[in-house]
A and B are shown apart, each in its own frame.
Chain A
Amino acid sequence: MPDTQIDDYFKTYPDESGHFGPYGGRFVGETLMGAIYELEEAYKQYKNDPQFQAEMDKDLADFVGRPSPIYHAENWTKKLGGAQIYLKREDLNHTGAHKVNNTIGQALLAKRMGKTRIIAETGAGQHGVATATVAARLGMECVVYMGAEDVARQAQNVYRMKLLGAEVVPVQSGSKTLKDALNEALRDWVTNVDDTFYIIGTVAGPHPYPAMVRDFQSVIGREARQQMLNTTGKLPDALVACIGGGSNAIGLFYPFIQDKSVAMIGVEGAGHGLQSGQHSAPLSAGTPGILHGNRTYLIQDTAGQITETHSISAGLDYPGVGPEHAWLKDIGRAQYVTVTDTEALDAFHELTRTEGIIPALETSHALAYVSKLAPTMSADQSILINVSGRGDKDMHTVAAMAGLNF
């Protein structure tokens, strides 16, 4: 990859119609085209509006609890015997994950645009909870679409959303998981396009969502970059984050993209192993195609039908990935690897016992990769991991693996 491509990255991507190289774009039905242009205009206007920024910063500080700290995981570092490991603690955010950084931004935008109704899709329920939370605060009607399978396996988050006043609609079509929830949310949006704002939870969807969600999540990387400089006096050698749709990863990576010395590693879910066909790793084992408004890597068959995915973690259980990751992979600026369900589960227990931090199963994928990477590096090098969420929501899943039921 030519260095100039990286030097000009911030100015170049996406282009004005939302493309990252061949990826991204606006692949939606005509009924929604007006709405996504309207959103793009509003976003452009408020992105550089000091009042909007000030309001968002205040919410991120007082409501979310930012900045989230970085934590030097000394026990785990010692145990692995290699690079110094730092954790960016997004698990300490209000609602327990990075998702709220984005819902705060989009909800403020919805309010400015005069929309009165909010819809969202959710997989594990973290984005649904983060959306229901901001909707409750702004007094807006909120409908969350969730695959019927996920409703069953994430009962606690479903109840949280209901407590917050949201209506949770179980989606019975297709594989009854996150991708079907996204389909159904898009169908709702087409039907109620005049008064409804669709808060997409990841860096997917049609332009401007991938760029907009990235911008809202970039607060993670901006803070972390400064925090690492303050704490260690230099930039980290590697960033590691898990990838479902890819919003926590891009949030961490983006501010470091032009820092060429910093390696960026995204970790996808290999599920039962890539060979088994039961995984959620489009960047590692998929092919480019078009789904949910953008061109990106997908898990699909040779005829272009989306095939079922599997991950122990509902938040990674998605057949696509944000188009910017597809591009970062192709130009070689980021590297994408996988870990299996079992490896993730081991890492979940490892961090819990050595550091007293119970991570989300999504995050545990990033941790599992670091347990292999860190020993290959030297003690004067450092790795920064995005701890995208806390593991409370996964208690049922983890207990069930141990044969326990609450």
Chain B
Amino acid sequence: MSRISECFKNLQADGQTALIPYVTAGDPEPWVTVPLMHALVEAGADIIELGVPFSDPMSDGPVIQKACERALKNDVTLDSILDMVKQFREKNSHTPVVLMGYSNPLEAMGYQKFAEKAQVVGVDGVLTVDMPPEESGEFKQLMDSHDIDTIFLVAPTTSAQRMKKIAEYAKGFIYYVSIKGVTGAAALEINEVTAKLEEIRRYTSLPVGVGFGIRDGRSAAAVAQVADAVVVGSTLVRCIEEHANRPQELPAAVASLLAEMRHAINARDLASVSA
């Protein structure tokens, strides 16, 4: 069983929802990322999504665009990000790490080489935003053979027919993009999300995480009632931006923001168990 599946199994046994923070690797400085990852785990992260910066992040709003720019100014590459994961694994062998980004940096390294390196350093999953199942044949095979979960997106615009196809390709969990828009653009509508998750679960037994549009403890807790995982990105990255000139203080600041969400989710999880 993959580290991701194991993680969900344990959480589900305890009636808990996974909390997945997203941070862009190397933002605002490369040395911050590994301490930040540890701080996030301590604040209640169950899985870490590590963004691979790209020069042209077409699915991202301004907050994550700027994070990519800050990271790329430091010459962060897929290679150096794999090194960060390796360092993280020196002290943490239980928290799954998912790389999230765009196809081209993977394409530039070569899928085979990426698969081998990622497996060795302890990457657990990959989410390539601009690689739908239709284009992922060779990539998926290589990820499968190197025990790396391929995570795919489902969107509000995804038809039933496509959900079926995505469910066939997905491993680890399914990531539901809760709004039509780019990351950090708008607040989600909980009723719509609930209805869509019900539909997705008709096609898959994988856990379903929800991201894009979760801004605070309240929305995190609301989503936690219906999803298996809550993904928080732009809110944390905005906090990183605010601390870009004080990077020493940054891990603690971001962690405390995440801890608030963890707290809100746990309170609701508890309330629903006792109710």
Residues of A within 8 A of B (CB): 17, 25-35, 173-174, 179-180, 183, 186-187, 190-194, 287-293, 295, 298, 300, 302-307
Residue-wise, chain B 139-175 has the 8 Å CB interface mask toward A (1 for contact) of 0000000000000111111110010001000000000
Also in contact, A193 and B56, with CB within 8 A (given A173-B62, A304-B105)? no
Q: Are A303 and B61 in contact, CB atoms less than 8 angstroms apart? A: no
**Bound form: Cα–Cα A130–B107 in Å:** 35
Closest B residue to A179 using CB positions: B56
User: Hey, which chain A residues are within 8 Å of B181, CB to CB?
Assistant: 31, 187, 190-191
Closest B residue to A187 using CB positions: B182
Q: Which of A28, A31, A183 contacts B177 (CB 8 A)?
A: A31
The 9 lowest CB-CB distance pairs between A and B, nearest first, are A304-B108, A304-B105, A31-B155, A30-B153, A303-B77, A34-B157, A191-B181, A290-B103, A304-B104
- Asked if B248 is an interface residue, CB under 8 A from chain A, the answer is no
Q: Which of B40-98 contact A (CB under 8 A)?
A: 54-59, 61-62, 65, 69, 72, 77-79
Q: Are B65 and A173 in contact, CB atoms less than 8 angstroms apart? A: yes
> In angstroms, how far is the closest chain A Cβ from the Cβ of B155?
4
Q: Which of A192, A290, A298, A304 contacts B109 (CB 8 A)?
A: A304
- How many residues on B have C-beta within 8 angstroms of the other chain's C-beta atoms? 43
- Asked if B106 is an interface residue, CB under 8 A from chain A, the answer is yes
**Bound form: Cα–Cα A187–B182 in Å:** 6
Also in contact, A305 and B155, with CB within 8 A (given A31-B180, A191-B180)? no
Q: Are A186 and B180 in contact, CB atoms less than 8 angstroms apart? A: no
Also in contact, A187 and B61, with CB within 8 A (given A25-B135, A28-B132, A293-B130)? yes
Also in contact, A305 and B130, with CB within 8 A (given A26-B135, A30-B153, A31-B156)? no
Closest B residue to A34 using CB positions: B157
User: Hey, which chain B residues are within 8 Å of A29, CB to CB?
Assistant: 58-59, 129-130, 153, 155, 177
Q: Are B104 and A290 in contact, CB atoms less than 8 angstroms apart? A: yes
Q: A29-B59, A290-B130 are in contact. List 4 more A-B contacts (CB 8 A).
A: A27-B131, A30-B158, A191-B185, A305-B104
- Asked if B14 is an interface residue, CB under 8 A from chain A, the answer is no
Q: Are A33 and B59 in contact, CB atoms less than 8 angstroms apart? A: no
User: Hey, which chain B residues are within 8 Å of A305, CB to CB?
Assistant: 54-55, 72, 104-105
> In angstroms, how far is the closest chain B Cβ from the Cβ of A183?
5
Also in contact, A300 and B104, with CB within 8 A (given A29-B58, A33-B132, A305-B72)? yes
Closest A residue to B154 using CB positions: A30
> In angstroms, how far is the closest chain A Cβ from the Cβ of B175?
9
User: Hey, which chain A residues are within 8 Å of B57, CB to CB?
Assistant: 183
User: Hey, which chain A residues are within 8 Å of B56, CB to CB?
Assistant: 174, 179-180, 183, 291-292, 306
Identify 26 residue pairs between A and B in the complex whose beta-carbon atoms are under 8 Å apart, listed by A's number: A17-B134, A28-B132, A29-B58, A30-B154, A30-B157, A30-B158, A30-B166, A31-B157, A32-B157, A33-B155, A34-B155, A187-B59, A191-B182, A193-B157, A290-B103, A290-B130, A292-B56, A292-B58, A300-B104, A303-B77, A303-B105, A303-B109, A304-B78, A305-B55, A306-B55, A306-B104
Q: Which of B102, B108, B134, B180 contacts A190 (CB 8 A)?
A: B180
